[in-house]
Every structure is written in C-alpha cells, then in structure tokens.
Chains A and B, each alone.
Chain A
Amino acid sequence: MKLHEYQSKRIFARYGIPVQEGEVASTPQEVRSLAEQMGCPVVVKAQVLVGGRGKAGGIKLARTPQEAEEVAARILALQIKGLPVRKVLVARAADIQQEIYLGIVVDRAAARPVMMASSEGGVEIEEVARTHPEAIKKVHIDPFVGLRGYQTLWLAKGIGLPPALHRDFGRIAQGLYRSFVECDASLAEINPLVITPEGTLLALDAKIVLDDNGLFRHPDLAELRDIDEETPSERAAREAGLSFVQLDGDIGCMVNGAGLAMATMDIIQHFGGMPANFLDIGGGARADRVATALRLILADPRVKAILFNIFGGITRCDEVARGIVSVLDEVRPNLPIVARLVGTNEAEGRQILESSGYGIITATTLAEAAQKAVAAARTH
C-alpha cells in the first residue's frame, strides 16, 4: 500500500528527519490562503500515488498568493497517469544547493534491507541505476545488529558529502531505517534530500510503500489507504479476501491459484485475446467465493466472455462444478461462459456443467479453453 508524500513526510518527521512539511489543501482558495500565511514563494505539489508528477505538470512554483491559487486550480484539474488530483501539498519553497538520494528497500536476493544513497538526487533511482550505476552506494543491513555508524559514514563519503554534514546524514539514515522497520515498509525513500545554502539537510520529498502483509499490526497506517489506489472492484475483492487485479481486456477470468491465474492470462493473450482481470479465488473453489468473484467480473461492463479455469485437487471437479452451477442459479450471468475443470473427477465435473442448462462451453485443455473464450468474446 502506497502512502502520499504528505503522509510519508509526517511519519519521517516523527523519526527526527528534517522535512519540508507544508499543509494539504483541496481547493485553489485554500492554497491561496496557505500561501498568504506561509509567505511566498511556495511550491504546490499534486498528491497522487504515481511517479513522474513533475513531468506531468503536477509540481509548480508560485511567487505570489494569486499565482499559487492559479497553479493550484490547474493542478487540481489534472489527471496524472489516469488518477485525478484531489489534494495538493503547499510548502514554503526551499533553496537548493545540491540534491541527493537516500532510500531503503528489501533486497530479495540478499534477504536483507539495503540502504542506497546517490549523489544524483531528484531523478528516479532506477534511472540512475541504468545510466550511472557507479553513482549509487549501497549497504546491506543485518536485521540483528541494525544499521551501524560506520555504514552511514561509508555512504556519506561514498556520495561525496561534505564532512560537516556526515553526522546529520547519519541521523537521517538511522531515522529512515527505524521508520522502515517500525512501519513494516517495503520501501522508504527521500528523493531528493537537499543540501540548503545554509549547509543543512532537508527532505523535500518522501515516499513510503507499506507491506500489505504488515498492515494487520498497524491499524493506524491501514486507515491511510487512498481510495484511488484501487478500482472499486479491487477494493471489493480485497474486502472479500480475493486476489484481483483489474486489466484492460474483455475476457473475465476466474482461476484458483495465483500461478495458474497468471498462466491463464498469458495463454489468452497467446491466442489473441485480452484478459479483463487477474483473479485468484484461492484453493478449493468454495461456492461463496465463486459467487463473489463472478459478481466482480460481471460488474465490469467491458467483459464479453468468462473463462473458468479450476484445478480440482483436494476439492474434486464434480464438487467444484456443483458449486459453480449453484452460483449460476443465483447470479444468472447473461454472457458466454467457457469452463475448464482439470484434476480429480474432471469428466464428471464437465458432465455436470454441460447438463446445467446454462449453455456452458466446456474444454479439456487450457489451450482449447483459451481459444474458445477468445472466440466467444469476439462474437458476443
């Protein structure tokens, strides 16, 4: 789960990191009065959960309260990568001598958090990794001994920070690591961390991505979830305990198991179709989950055909088929359905679906099922 810049900055501030805080506003008038209170120049920043805000015109400097109101009106009318801008952050503009980067992510290969610093702040770290990998300095952090002073010094020297700033940099790095661990983050990033003309360090931007699996022990952070991070269907799926990702196509997919669900999307595209979603209903294909999942798929008006791909292992295919038919009795979708059940008692399962009276198109192989679903979506 992603947090907004203003939310991330408030968290970082609690860990002793000097941040350019500012105030959040949702109308141009509020921005104007904030600019009057703070004193210009101010910076007005779109609060949306995607990268590249600056390039999209979502970050503007204003020299007067009048100009702040005008740029806020333009920013609040923007859609950035499909997301509407509902809030802006207004902050006193800071003078910048140099921009650096400081962030922590989980290094999966090393099974450790890794702290990265770069003298090239203000650009995405992935971009720096591609163009100037030597500009990025990294230290892995042992979970038992934590981030040590020599490591932050090594980073500070590695990116050419003046010695007078080494101590403050170390404090910021320690605060960042503590926030990362204590919030159960999967990413905590300051980009840019700037050196001001007065020779101090200040976090101008902030980004935290929380580990969804850690949210159960942080109810206060879980409440920060933005409604725009998910589509209404994704939200309904999450609340029902289903794994669902909205895609752009017209073939609704219902699959048990994440790997099989991805393989099903892949094979639909292999045969020239486009999946409308990724959907894992979990093991066993329980009737209540099938019903919820079917309603989610039908809520998407673009869907022209539905593909069930269920492996019946411990739950046998005949039981799965009976579950599907009982759900169809209840939901009654008006779309072609292609069903492939594989595993134990698959022939009996197919028989139950074929004789259900819902005109279900059955298939034995995944390739056959995908081709039939693609054809059904084209002709419907």
Chain B
Amino acid sequence: MSILVDQTTRLVVQGVTGREGEFHTRQTLDYGTNVVAGVTPGKGGQFACDGRVPVFDTVREAVEATGANTSVIYVPAPFAPDAIIEAADAGLGLVVCITEGIPVNEMIRVKAYLDMKGVQLVGPNCPGLLTPGQAKVGIMPGHIAMPGPVGVVSRSGTLTYEVVYALTALGIGQTTCVGIGGDPIIGTRFVDVLALFEADPETKAVVLIGEIGGNDEEVAARFIAERMTKPVVAFIAGRTAPPGKRMGHAGAIIEGGTGTAAEKIAALEAAGVRVAEHPEQIARMVAEVIS
C-alpha cells in the first residue's frame, strides 16, 4: 500500500516539452511510472521524450485520449495557475504542481477553486511524490528510496532526500514520500497527509520535516495528539533563522514573532512527537520507534 500515487497512476505532464519538464519526465519514465500523456499548448500531435510521450494541446484532450488520472505541472509561474485550474476542470483527482514563484494572491484563488471542486492539489513549489517501486511524480531522485514501512512528509526538497537516503542506508524503506512545498499557500498540508498515512495499513511510522513560517506544524501536532496512533518523528529547520527574512522558500519566514522553530518544536513535543536536533538523528530515531 501507499498513498496518493501507485501503480494505477496514469500521469499527464503539463509543460512536458520545456527543459525542466522533459528532463524530469525522462527520469519519471525510467523509474517505471505510467506516463500516458504530455500537454503543451500549440504542440498537440507531437511526441516528447524520444517518442515515448504523446503531446496534446489541452489536458481535456489528453484525458479523453489516454484516461490520465493525475497531473504533474512544470509550466513557468505566470502560466501555472491556469495549468492547475485546467487540470481540475479536466476531471483529474490529483494535481501536483512543481512550479516555484506563483503569486500568493493567485494561489488563494486557485486553492479556493480546487477546494470547491474537490480536487486534491499537492504544492506548488514542491518536489512532488514518490512511492518507491511504483510511481514517481515530480523531481525526487527515485533511486535513493526503497519500499518499506515509513511515510515521509516534508515542506522541503533536498533535506527530505537526505533523510530518505539515510533511512534507505539503514535498510528502512518508505511507503510514500510527499513533498508538500515551501509556499505560504499550498494545496495539501501536513494534517491531510498525516490522515492518509494514519489510514494506510502499511505505514507503521511517519517522518515529518517542517520549517519556520506559518503554523501548519502546530496544527499537525494537535492532529497527532488527538487522532494518530502511529509514531511520528519530526525535524524543524530554521532554529537559528533571523526574524523577518525569507529563508529561500516563500513561506519560510518568521513574521510578527510567530512561526518560530521553538514554537513548533514545543507543540510537537507536547503531542508526544520525538523531535530530532539535527537531520542525521532522524533515521536512528525511526529505527528505534519501529523496532
């Protein structure tokens, strides 16, 4: 078992003929993911990735021709909101947006629209999803992961890979790795993913990797205390970040004295979560909780 993506995923890639889109689609195909279509307006009828992916002008045509059920988006920020809404209107149930740099006010409208339509959005500004051995949707390096009992959810990219790599090195595999993204407004939040992991029979423990900014970690802590039976190990990046400065991610900022790492760590620890002091402790802590 796994969450969100697996062998039944039929993926359409929006922005498949762009530099990033084509590069990562090749990696996705090589991983064995079922990529059924690509979309680039004006390039319908062509093929991308050495003829392996048929290209359509619109998502709707791609869905009608191929039965795609999930979309991943690599189109540039000015066009990404349209791409997300187009995917939702074409009837896809899951939309994963990798694109960084979408204006916040645009995302507020996009998120409200997708919530209204009941479509799940992961991202934007995220590395995507990886269910080891089954499907890779996005830019996570596939070969560092292996199938196993740990669910991973994170606002970060390379920090997540580092943790997944360390877990795999200890022989601990993963059910699904979910990068929810580093923007202030994101489609899927920690609590949404925690609920899915809690319900997934194969997930035995969860790793949560948060960072400064917002209060999603505090909301997650409340959910863990009230609703979760599975052990959670966490790490929060940015203990030493200065207030008022954006640390790379648009959402990683301490504003008006709130969103600090200390508040998040205190909330998680109060919920019974083991919080690592640095990322290298995470894999060992997971080994202890699942043994």
Contact = CB atoms under 8 A, between A and B. Distances in A.
Given A213-B103, A216-B77, A314-B139, A280 B109 contact: no
Interface string A233-249: 00000000001010100
Given A143-B108, A144-B112, A343-B141, A262 B212 contact: yes
Nearest to B110: A143
Contacts of B8: none
Interface stretch (A19-27, A267-275, A330-338): A267-275
B47 interface: no
Interface string B224-250: 000000000001011111100111111
Contacts of A342: 162, 165
Interface stretch (A52-60, A89-97, A107-115): A107-115
B153 interface: no
Interface in B153-195: 154-162, 165, 182, 184-185
Contact of A259 (B157, B185, B215, B256): B157
Contact of A283 (B101, B105, B144, B158): B158
Contact of A243 (B160, B238, B248): B248
A296 to B, nearest CB: 15
B206 to A, nearest CB: 17
A278 B247 CA distance: 7
Nearest to A256: B158
A213 B160 CA distance: 24
A258 B252 contact: yes
Interface string B251-283: 110001100010000000000000001111000
Given A213-B102, A217-B103, A313-B141, A257 B159 contact: yes
Given A256-B158, A260-B159, A367 B278 contact: yes
Contact of A365 (B105, B184, B211, B280): B280
Contact of A311 (B161, B182, B185, B213): B161
Interface in A80-131: 106, 108-109, 111-113, 125-126, 129
Interface string A51-73: 00000000000000000000000
Given A258-B252, A278-B241, A263 B108 contact: no
B27 interface: yes
B103 A111 contact: no
Contacts of B212: 262
Interface string A191-225: 00000000000000000000111101100000000
Nearest to A2: B244
B250 A263 contact: no
Nearest to B104: A211
Nearest to A141: B108
A181 interface: yes
A266 interface: yes
Contacts of B261: 266
A261 B162 contact: no
Contacts of B101: 213, 216
Contact of B250 (A144, A213, A255, A266): A213
B73 to A, nearest CB: 16
Contacts of A108: 184-185, 213-216, 251
Given A111-B112, A213-B103, A278-B241, 4 more contacts: A108-B251, A257-B157, A259-B157, A283-B158
25 contacts: A106-B104, A108-B214, A129-B256, A211-B103, A212-B246, A243-B248, A257-B248, A259-B157, A259-B159, A259-B248, A260-B237, A260-B279, A263-B237, A265-B238, A266-B239, A266-B240, A270-B278, A278-B245, A314-B27, A314-B139, A343-B144, A343-B162, A343-B165, A366-B278, A366-B279
